[in-house]
Amino acid sequence: MEPVTKQETRHTINNFVSVDCVIFGFDFTQLNVLLVDRVMVDELTGKEIFSDLTLAGNHIYEDEDLEEAAARILFDLTGLKDIYLEQFKTFGAPGRISRANDKLWLEASGRDPNDRIVTVGYYSLLATDKVTLEWKGRNVRWTPVSEVTELAFDHMEILNEALIALRQSLIREPIGFALLPSKFTLSQLQRVYEVILGVSLDKRNFRKKVSRMKYLVSLEEKQIGVAHKPARLYSFDRDMYESTRKELLDFAI
Amino acid sequence: MEPVTKQETRHTINNFVSVDCVIFGFDFTQLNVLLVDRVMVDELTGKEIFSDLTLAGNHIYEDEDLEEAAARILFDLTGLKDIYLEQFKTFGAPGRISRANDKLWLEASGRDPNDRIVTVGYYSLLATDKVTLEWKGRNVRWTPVSEVTELAFDHMEILNEALIALRQSLIREPIGFALLPSKFTLSQLQRVYEVILGVSLDKRNFRKKVSRMKYLVSLEEKQIGVAHKPARLYSFDRDMYESTRKELLDFAI
């Protein structure tokens, strides 16, 4: 652990650029997103002025690259390092900070809500069970993406754009395998695609399609200790993926 | 045209965020990039201190979203609107401004080179002949991408990342058709892919692959007025592309 004094003397690069992390959590039932409670309390009366939710965002320290700031936020929220983390879009519309709650919140922390703050969006994908839910004294909670209807600032737009980017990545790259145990069934793999794409897939079609994935290795093993008929286990071969990927790119045109 | 006074009273959002445009130009022979001369002159002696090249970058005005700033730069350099323009990555490493020339340049315009400037990268793709080459009194020139070895700031990295993003888009989306006349030959289409991907493609393999593109329409027409045997003409059917694209996404998994 770093000494506390070091943390305290770190300076942010400025008040005009931030990083927001859309941390997606997968749990075989639904796709979730990690949201942070934002509670504004009147200092004199102790009465709550408002309470809503934000994505996990933060400033950038002087010694950090943008991706390092995003990885720090992810680590602070989850205790995890070397997790899939992707920069997907930067947001800086003139009206980003126009709602009363957002203005109050910024003013309370000594910032000018009329300043333009540009935020660099990152998204991440992990298994929901891997998270310890505390951050800077604020409550952090998994919420099903389908139930999120309103967020602070323009975080709803950022979430939607992240979801589009995540789904495109899932179709183009084997990012879903990190959510599975090293040996998994085709039903589990299908759930990864169904949950993240938000669709229901035909089992037979799905199996026909994944049978073309050379990097999906059929093992001479079956599930143990399950109530139903044990299913065959599979594993993901990254080396095979890397080499077929090159072929695929050659083939693309 | 806007009145000059309006331009003069526009304020930038701050000195910490900028937009850089990687404007790619295609000319059937090679892929080019639009570079801007940066010449630093000693005010007293009139002697040149240094001269190098940058991408086309600029600040963001108060009334502009990031994409609007990028579109403005693109318009100022080319006179073109509604051109393919894509945000691909934001750059903000601690050492972005570390070279002597870059520091001198910023200081001369009243900025502190120790400030972190975060820049949002956009790339664009157009036909080289469509450009009028003047910008804020600085020379603007097309340079073959293969001949660019050094640029100011971290613009070499930005160019390289833009090139990767452009090539991925070309493989995934039909962005190359905008570079062709409405009726084109398969040889012209092949050149688009060869020039942008920087490869040489086998003619027979290429034709076999594009024959699968339902949105490539074979016309009952041939070239006119060419010295060689006239080739068949084709056109791009955007509606067909949009509908097959949906099928493709369904098919992807």
Q: Would you say residue B189 has pLDDT above 50?
A: yes
CB < 8 Å from A in window 71-130 of B = 87, 89-94, 115-116, 118, 120
Q: What is the pLDDT of residues A192-235, one digit of tens each?
A: 999 999 999 999 999 998 888 889 999 999 999 888 899 999 99
Last residue of a domain, one of A115, A143, A172: A172
Q: Say if B156 is an interface residue toward chain A (CB within 8 Å).
A: no
Q: What is the nearest CA distance from B216 to chain A, expressed in angstroms? A: 14
User: β-pairing, A31-41 with A48-54?
Assistant: antiparallel
Q: Would you say residue B106 has pLDDT above 70?
A: yes
- What's the confidence (pLDDT) of residue B227? 86
Q: How far apart are CA A160 and CA A156, in angstroms?
A: 6
- A148 and A117 within one domain: yes
What is the torsion angle, in degrees rounded to the nearest 10, for the CA atoms of residue A52, residue A53, residue A57 and residue A58? 30
Q: How far apart are CA A109 and CA A117, in angstroms?
A: 14
CB atoms within 10 A of CB A27: 15
- A214 and A184 within one domain: yes
Q: Say if A170 is an interface residue toward chain B (CB within 8 Å).
A: yes
CB atoms within 10 A of CB A163: 20
How many separate domains does chain A show?
2
Indicate the residue of A16, A62, A253 with minimum beta-carbon distance to B171: A253
- B196 and B164 within one domain: no
- A96 and A147 within one domain: yes
- What's the confidence (pLDDT) of residue B249? 54
Pull the structure tokens for residue A218: 């059929």
- What's the confidence (pLDDT) of residue B230? 93
- What's the confidence (pLDDT) of residue B231? 94
Indicate the residue of B13, B209, B251 with minimum beta-carbon distance to A116: B13
- B203 and B83 within one domain: no
Q: Say if B213 is an interface residue toward chain A (CB within 8 Å).
A: no
Classify A136 in phi/psi space as left (phi over 0), alpha (psi -120 to 50) or beta: left
Mean pLDDT of chain A: 89
Q: Would you say residue B213 has pLDDT above 90?
A: no
Residue range(s) defining the domain that contains residue A215: 176-252
- What's the confidence (pLDDT) of residue A184? 96
- What's the confidence (pLDDT) of residue B173? 87
CA B138 → CA B7, B40, B80, distances in Å?
A: 19, 11, 18
CA B210 → CA A100, B194, B203, distances in Å?
A: 54, 14, 11
Query: Could you tell me if B226 and B213 are in contact, meaning their C-beta atoms sit under 8 angstroms apart?
Result: no
Average pLDDT over residues A109-128: 93
- A213 and A113 within one domain: no
Q: With respect to residue B204, please indicate whether it lies within any of the assigned structural domains.
A: yes
- What's the confidence (pLDDT) of residue B155? 97
Q: With respect to residue B105, please indicate whether it lies within any of the assigned structural domains.
A: yes
Q: Got the DSSP string for B121-137?
A: EEEEEEEGGG---EETT
Indicate the residue of B89, B92, B209 with minimum beta-carbon distance to A65: B92
The percentage of residues in chain A with a pLDDT greater than 70, rounded to a whole number, is 93
Last residue of a domain, one of A121, A139, A172: A172
pLDDT interval class at A71 (50, 70, 90): very high
pLDDT interval class at B2 (50, 70, 90): very low
- A208 and A147 within one domain: no
B170: chain A residues, CB-CB within 8 Å: 253
Q: CATH number for the domain including A244?
A: 1.10.10.10
Q: With respect to residue B51, please indicate whether it lies within any of the assigned structural domains.
A: yes
Provide the H-helix boundaries in A57-185: 66-78, 100-108, 155-172
Interface probe, candidates B90, B154, B157, chain A, greatest A C-beta count within 10 A: B90
CB atoms within 10 A of CB A201: 16
Last residue of a domain, one of A141, A172, A203: A172
Helix, strand, coil shares of chain B, percent, nearest 5, are 35, 30, 35
pTM: 0.90
CB < 8 Å from B in window 3-42 of A = 13-14, 16-17
Q: Would you say residue B97 has pLDDT above 50?
A: yes
CA dihedral (B99, B100, B105, B108) positive or negative = positive
Report CA B32 to chain centroid distance, whole Å.
Answer: 9
- B125 and B193 within one domain: no
- What's the confidence (pLDDT) of residue B1? 40
pLDDT interval class at A11 (50, 70, 90): very high
Query: Could you tell me if B213 and B237 are in contact, meaning their C-beta atoms sit under 8 angstroms apart?
Result: no
- A211 and A168 within one domain: no
Q: Say if B66 is an interface residue toward chain A (CB within 8 Å).
A: yes
Average pLDDT over residues B178-204: 94
- B134 and B59 within one domain: yes
Q: Say if A197 is an interface residue toward chain B (CB within 8 Å).
A: yes
Q: Could A93 and B66 be called an inter-chain contact, meaning their C-beta atoms sit closer than 8 Å?
A: yes
Q: Say if B61 is an interface residue toward chain A (CB within 8 Å).
A: no
Q: With respect to residue B177, please indicate whether it lies within any of the assigned structural domains.
A: no
For residue B151, give every residue at least 6 positions away whose Cβ sits within 8 Å of its Cβ, in sequence order, or none: B35, B52, B53, B54, B55, B159
Q: CATH number for the domain including A52?
A: 3.90.79.10
- B224 and B136 within one domain: no
- B144 and B31 within one domain: yes
Q: Give the DSSP H or E segment for A225.
A: none
Q: Could A120 and B118 be called an inter-chain contact, meaning their C-beta atoms sit closer than 8 Å?
A: yes
- What's the confidence (pLDDT) of residue B5? 47
Q: Could A116 and B92 be called an inter-chain contact, meaning their C-beta atoms sit closer than 8 Å?
A: no
Q: Could B62 and A17 be called an inter-chain contact, meaning their C-beta atoms sit closer than 8 Å?
A: no
Q: With respect to residue B46, please indicate whether it lies within any of the assigned structural domains.
A: yes
- What's the confidence (pLDDT) of residue A223? 92
Q: How many CB pairs lie under 8 A apart between chains A and B?
A: 91
